[in-house]
Amino acid sequence: MLINDEPLVHLVYWEPRIPQNTGAAIRLAAVSGAHLHLVEPLGFELDDTRLRRAGLDYHDLALVTVHADHDQLWQTLGERRVFAFTAHAQRWHTDVTYQHGDVLLFGPEPTGLSPEVLADSHVHDQLRIPMIPGRRSLNLSNATAVATYEVGRQLGFPGAN
């Protein structure tokens, strides 16, 4: 789902820990046209077998950028709307009218985004994906897919068939 060869959405994994989730996000980026950003430190090596297995053969089809730190991430993204996903937010991910080039920010499992990241001036809003009460969280790669496809749905899945 690209518009003028630009990604529809930017996905950010802030200090990801589980290689299988990042591998699944790489596959998601490849099939959706999203740009996946990984902010170091990573909890694994990029050549990790579990990462490669989860991403199948999509690694070469995905746009993935690794950032040494958050300053480099913010500099690369520029002035974009950033939506931080947290189980503690009040607004649902469907309450937003997304725009081309928005940023969806996800924290590491099992902790999620820290209060410092959630309070960062780059974060436009905090969002949650609805769940049954008493549940801690949705799997990171599943949450990323739900949010990514909501953006695509709202914008009419440009470039998809």
- pLDDT tens, residue by residue, 64-105: 999 999 999 999 999 999 999 999 999 999 999 999 999 999
In the chain, the number of structural domains is: 1
Whether residue 15 lies inside any domain: the answer is: yes
CB-based contact 77:104 (threshold 8 Å): no
Q: What is the pLDDT of residue 107?
A: 97
Whether residue 139 lies inside any domain: the answer is: yes
Q: What is the pTM of this model?
A: 0.93
Can you give the CATH number for the domain in which 16 is found? Answer: 3.40.1280.10
Q: What is the pLDDT of residue 128?
A: 96
Q: What is the pLDDT of residue 98?
A: 97
Range of the domain at 11: 2-112+122-154
Whether residue 149 lies inside any domain: the answer is: yes
Left (φ > 0), alpha (ψ -120 to 50) or beta: where does 37 sit? beta
Whether residue 144 lies inside any domain: the answer is: yes
Q: What is the pLDDT of residue 137?
A: 83
| Below-50 pLDDT ranges, the chain | none
